Amino acid sequence: MAISQKIYNSLPYPVQSFVFDQYCSKLHQKRVGDRFDIELEKMLEMDRFSNSEWRNLQDEKLAQLIEYSYENVPYYRSLMKSLRLKPGDIRTVGDLPKLPVLTKEDVKNNSDKLISVQYRKKDLISLGTSGTTGSPLKIYSDKEAWFVNNLFDWKQKKWAGVNVGDPGVFFLGREVVNPGRNKPPFWQINKYDNVLWVSSFHLSSRYIEYILDKINQFKPIYFEGYPSTLFGFSSLVGDGGLQHAAPYSFTSSEPLYDYMLESIKENLHTENFDFYGLAERVAWATECKSHSGKHLHMDYSVVELVDEEDNLIEADGQEGYLVGTGLFNYAMPLIRYKTSDVTRISSGNCTCGVETPRLSGVSTKSEDMIRTPDGRIISPSVLTHPFKNLTSIRKSQIVQLQVDRIKVKVVSDSPLNRKEENELVNGLQNRMGGEVLVEIEYVDDIPRGNNGKYRWVISRL
């Protein structure tokens, strides 16, 4: 939004609705545009491609990206020269390992050098990762890349059976109303995309009746939200709570555990489609009707797997870290970007007929969920938002010591100033409740657990 979240929260609800409407209007123009229907249809027609046709398309797009990056992106020009590589040396996906992986630290330390000289930073869209480790990145996109990303989002929805303009309900991390609000409405309506945005911060037994009434009036075709948020909603609803059941639902951004999926399907009477995407725009994978893994969209990116030492894993079905190369964000190309996500790739045929490899068992950081004094369950993904602009944070960890006491451990290049500390504390309290005490502790490092995994949120309750 054009104004700060703090100012937005202080506004009367009718004024908030006006600001939200302006925001949604601009968002719709960026994401859709006049070409949307034509380009989406072209994209869906490509589902008939054979595996070899997909590979040829990837090689073509990759060669164009490498040549462009060498000519226009200072970081890659310097890197390739130091390795004595020319664009002609990387013409196919098989040539990519000639370049080293790009780490999160590389992006932090070379952010401006990764931006193409053909763009002015002020004209770009700042994406910003959600910071699922509490150490967000600033990622930039041009308008075309933003548009294309939305095409892929809608391709997935079309696979499920949802059409553009069908009514939907979002349960995401944005504060669409003041989290401290204690009377309805607890939602805003995006009339441009026909979406009801429900405040995830009001998913409690105290308010669920109002929210259900609004959803039943809205008659959605689909729900979308974080797995833990949709699970929290489905648990509150219980079987029979929805008069109007949405036939489809979409989850992303967190692990979707079996117990969550069962609750979502049974209580919301919906067919769920889980998808995998990143703010860094280096991978997109979605479920089809077969629900046998997530199809990688090969016109979106090139995906590889590497081991702990960054060696390429080529064996089918072997687990490794996901490394992605986005094929359309020319404003800030990320080539061989190494994520912290571990998965497997299967190249076997799917009964749906789409001949693309599939991701299975994507393992991100397994987090606890936060419980609030008023009985709400808060998703870890919701808690990432207050960290988004604090790019000096290298690592962080949220520990719930008591139901009304949170400690935030921070590893930072330098201590946050008072304004930044206040923004972080206020942002977390807005989501958990003002009665929750939030303490910040600066530490030298945050070690992984005995199982080698890094947990960003830990509950001691």
Tens digit of each residue's pLDDT (9 = 90 or more) over 40-53: 999 999 999 999 99
Percent of the chain having pLDDT more than 70? 94
What pLDDT, on a 0 to 100 scale, did the predictor assign at position 448?
57
Long-range (24+ apart) CB contacts under 8 A made by 310-319 are: 310/100, 310/101, 310/338, 312/97, 316/345, 316/346, 316/347, 316/348, 317/344, 317/345, 317/346, 318/344, 319/343, 319/344, 319/361
Residue 454 confidence (pLDDT): 61
The token pair at 67 is 């040549």
Q: Does residue 296 fall inside a structural domain? A: yes
Residues 6+ apart with CB under 8 A from 26: none
Of 360, 378, 410, the residue that ends a domain is 360
In-domain check, residue 52? no
Q: What is the CATH number of the domain that holds 178?
A: 3.40.50
Number of structural domains (the chain) is 3
Judge if 174 and 245 occupy the same domain.
Answer: yes
What is residue 221's predicted lDDT score, i.e. its pLDDT? 96
146/32 Cα distance (integer angstroms): 9
313 and 387 housed in the same domain: no
Q: State residue 72's pLDDT score.
A: 98
Which of 312, 330, 360 is the C-terminal boundary of a domain? 360
- Give me the chain's average pLDDT, please: 88
Residues 26 and 84 in one domain: no
pLDDT digits (tens, 9 = 90+) for 169-222: 999 878 899 988 999 999 999 999 999 999 988 888 889 999 999 999 999 999
120 lies in some domain: yes
Say whether both 206 and 97 belong to one domain.
no
Alpha-carbon distance of 138 to 387, in angstroms, equals 12
* Whether 261 and 282 share a structural domain: no
268/344 same-domain check: no
Spatial neighbors of 392 by CB under 8 A, at least 6 apart, are 412, 413, 414, 416
pLDDT reported for residue 424: 92
Last residue of a domain, one of 257, 276, 295: 276
* 326-373 tens-digit pLDDT: 999 999 999 999 998 888 898 888 999 999 999 987 766 455 778 888
CA terminus-to-terminus distance, the chain: 35
Tens-place pLDDT, residues 282-310? 999 999 999 999 999 999 999 999 988 89
Tokens of 41: 């249809």
Residue 47 counted as domain residue: no
- pLDDT top residue among 130 and 13: 13
Question: Distance between CA 51 and CA 200 in Å, rounded?
Answer: 41
Mean pLDDT of 119-130: 82
Select from 180, 234, 268 the least CA-distant residue to 377: 234
Give 368-395 as a 3 state SS string: CCEECCCCCEECHHHHCHHHCCCCCEEE
pLDDT tens digits along 14-43: 999 999 999 888 878 777 767 888 999 999
* One domain for residues 263 and 185: yes
* Cβ–Cβ under 8 Å, residues 231 and 379: no
Lowest mean pLDDT among 42-46, 130-134, 319-323: 130-134
User: Do 340 and 431 fall within a single domain?
Assistant: no
For residue 447, what are the domain limits?
370-459
Q: Which two tokens stand for residue 218?
A: 């809205």
Pairing of strands 312-313, 125-126: unpaired
Let me know whether 272 and 408 are in one domain: no
Confidence of residue 94 (pLDDT cuts 50, 70, 90): very high
Question: Residue 324 belongs to a domain with what CATH number?
Answer: 3.40.50.12780
Residues 128 and 171 grouped into a single domain? no
Secondary structure element (H or E) that encloses residue 313, with its range? strand 312-313
Two tokens at 344?
């497997």
Whether 183 is covered by a domain: the verdict is yes
Q: What is the pLDDT of residue 116?
A: 97
Are residues 215 and 157 both part of a single domain?
yes
> Is the model's pLDDT at 457 over the cut of 60?
yes
Answer whether 0.85 is exceeded by the pTM.
no
CATH number of the domain to which 414 belongs: 3.30.300.30
264 and 311, same domain (yes or no)? no
At residue 452 the predicted structure's pLDDT band, cuts being 50, 70 and 90, is very low
